[in-house]
């Protein structure tokens, strides 16, 4: 991480009692102050909830032993080739007494953990394919079976680390200086950038203005902010005046879901996972891209039939006490977080934009809210922003600095981090909804 930014963050931490306390708590819990924490500190209210939840999942009383928890974190991060998170949890796994032989490959871990590989793969890339039969296979494998409570713990860990891999790549987080790759000041991935550098202005102004369509002037970028704010205002006014029929709302959802399948960055390239990462999971060719490229249909998941608030929350809380509450708090903070600012503007109601981002992510996963007009998404999210969202959420290992630079050019870096918080929490909730619905169907 860039040392100048580190000094800036620590200075803010010293001036802000809440941030200082968060740094202290994080260091006490993890024995380190990692770069994920240092980037999230732009948003202390969210960071506090995130750290509390992660601490509970990894260290407090729960169905799974400590070394299993870190190994599942390794398995989940490895699906997205996130060597940063893999290496962190390799160290933690060994620290809590994990068997080093397991790190030679998933085939060396207990059969019980190997059996989790299929669930890990489907949740990470195509959660809509998850069925109660997948759950049954894990719960009824005789000597290697999982209990319901253990499975809930594992599912929450898997979704947590799939999403955290998205944040790591989405913000270009690099290893700590004492870790492998830490001296390079960039992540050991295709991303090749670090938000720490971006936030400190360690790149040319011209570079910041380049998008896939060419050079963009500062004046044009400022104009984009004004246009976006005007669209938000118009949508809020139109919503009060007219309401589309249920049939039209359903049509707009299907159209947006279909279009989202074809949102890809033109310079996409194939990435072969390194042996250090790929040994922690099976079927390296399985991914979201295969699904969308073959034009297969994503079934619609109606939130009115199964929602986090009415179904998922209570199931998690019943089988893994307190975790449902922690997750619910984290989802709400991410969804509702606002400083009423947009770039250089103050006193702005950003709720319409935040909802569009959240619902677009769920739309990509086939999740529909009957009361939302999906026509708003195309009004508020331009193609470069959609490309960034789709990449960070579905194939985070392919995120590039160019994608990061090409959307919201005049917004603050803290606002771009804010976007990433929305992305990872919407993604985690989407994965959880599919997993918890499958578990509920198995139970009933």
Q: Where are the beta strands (DSSP E) in 281-409?
A: 301-302, 341-342, 345-346, 367-368
Q: Check whether 444 has a pLDDT greater than 80.
A: yes
Confidence of residue 352 (pLDDT cuts 50, 70, 90): very high
Sign of CA dihedral 113, 114, 117, 118: negative
Query: How much is the pLDDT for 265?
Result: 57
- Computed over every residue of the chain, the mean pLDDT equals 82
pLDDT tens-digit readout, 59-84: 999 999 999 999 999 999 999 999 99
- Closest-CA residue to 388 (of 265, 287, 249): 265
Q: Check whether 4 has a pLDDT greater than 60.
A: no
Q: Check whether 195 has a pLDDT greater than 50.
A: no
**What are the catalytic residues?**
82
Query: How much is the pLDDT for 222?
Result: 62
Rounded Cα distance, 419 and 421, in Å: 5
Confidence of residue 24 (pLDDT cuts 50, 70, 90): low
Q: For 407-439, give the DSSP string.
A: SSTTS-HHHHHHHHHHHHHHHHHHHHHHHHHHH
Rounded Cα distance, 441 and 17, in Å: 46
Confidence of residue 3 (pLDDT cuts 50, 70, 90): very low
**Residues 31-37: what's their mean pLDDT?**
78
**Residues 186-210: what's their mean pLDDT?**
34
Query: How much is the pLDDT for 249?
Result: 84
Confidence of residue 31 (pLDDT cuts 50, 70, 90): low
Query: How much is the pLDDT for 96?
Result: 96
Rounded Cα distance, 38 and 167, in Å: 13
**Residues 117-129: what's their mean pLDDT?**
95
Domains of the chain: 3-171 (1.20.1290.10), 223-265+277-443 (no CATH)
């Amino acid at each position: 991480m860039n040392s100048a930014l580190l000094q800036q963050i620590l200075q803010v931490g010293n001036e802000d009692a809440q941030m200082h306390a968060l740094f202290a708590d994080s260091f006490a819990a993890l024995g380190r102050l990692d770069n994920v924490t240092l980037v999230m500190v732009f948003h202390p209210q969210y960071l506090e909830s995130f750290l509390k939840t992660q601490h509970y999942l990894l260290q407090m009383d729960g169905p799974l032993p400590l070394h299993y928890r870190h190994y599942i974190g390794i398995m989940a991060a490895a699906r997205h080739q996130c060597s940063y998170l893999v290496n962190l949890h390799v160290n933690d796994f060994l620290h809590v007494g994990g068997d080093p032989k397991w790190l030679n490959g998933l085939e060396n871990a207990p059969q019980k953990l190997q059996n989790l590989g299929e669930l890990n793969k489907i949740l990470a890339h195509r959660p809509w394919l998850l069925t109660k039969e997948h759950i049954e296979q894990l719960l009824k494998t005789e000597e290697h079976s999982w209990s319901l409570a253990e499975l809930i713990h594992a599912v929450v860990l898997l979704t947590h680390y799939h999403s955290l891999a998205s944040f790591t790549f989405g913000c270009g987080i690099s290893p700590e200086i004492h870790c492998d790759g830490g001296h390079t000041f960039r992540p050991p991935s295709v991303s090749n950038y670090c938000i720490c550098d971006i936030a400190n202005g360690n790149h040319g102004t011209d570079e910041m203005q380049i998008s896939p369509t060419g050079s963009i002037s500062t004046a044009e970028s400022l104009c984009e902010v004004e246009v976006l704010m005007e669209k938000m205002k118009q949508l809020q006014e139109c919503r009060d005046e007219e309401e589309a029929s249920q049939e039209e709302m359903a049509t707009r959802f299907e159209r947006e879901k279909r279009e989202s399948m074809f949102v890809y960055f033109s310079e996409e390239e194939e990435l072969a996972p390194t042996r250090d990462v790929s040994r922690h999971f099976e079927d390296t060719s399985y991914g979201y891209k295969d699904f969308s490229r073959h034009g297969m249909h994503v079934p619609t998941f109606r939130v009115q039939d199964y929602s986090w608030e009415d179904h998922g929350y209570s199931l998690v809380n019943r089988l893994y006490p307190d975790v449902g509450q922690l997750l619910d708090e984290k989802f709400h903070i991410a969804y509702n977080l606002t400083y009423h600012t947009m770039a250089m503007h103050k006193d702005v109601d950003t709720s319409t934009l935040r909802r569009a981002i959240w619902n677009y992510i769920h739309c990509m996963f086939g999740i529909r809210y009957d009361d939302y007009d999906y026509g708003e998404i195309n009004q508020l999210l331009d193609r470069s922003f959609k490309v960034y969202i789709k990449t960070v959420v579905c194939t985070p290992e392919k995120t590039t600095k160019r994608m990061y630079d090409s959307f919201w050019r005049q917004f603050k870096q803290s606002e771009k981090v804010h976007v990433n918080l929305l992305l990872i929490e919407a993604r985690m909730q989407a994965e959880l909804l599919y997993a918890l619905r499958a578990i509920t169907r198995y139970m009933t």
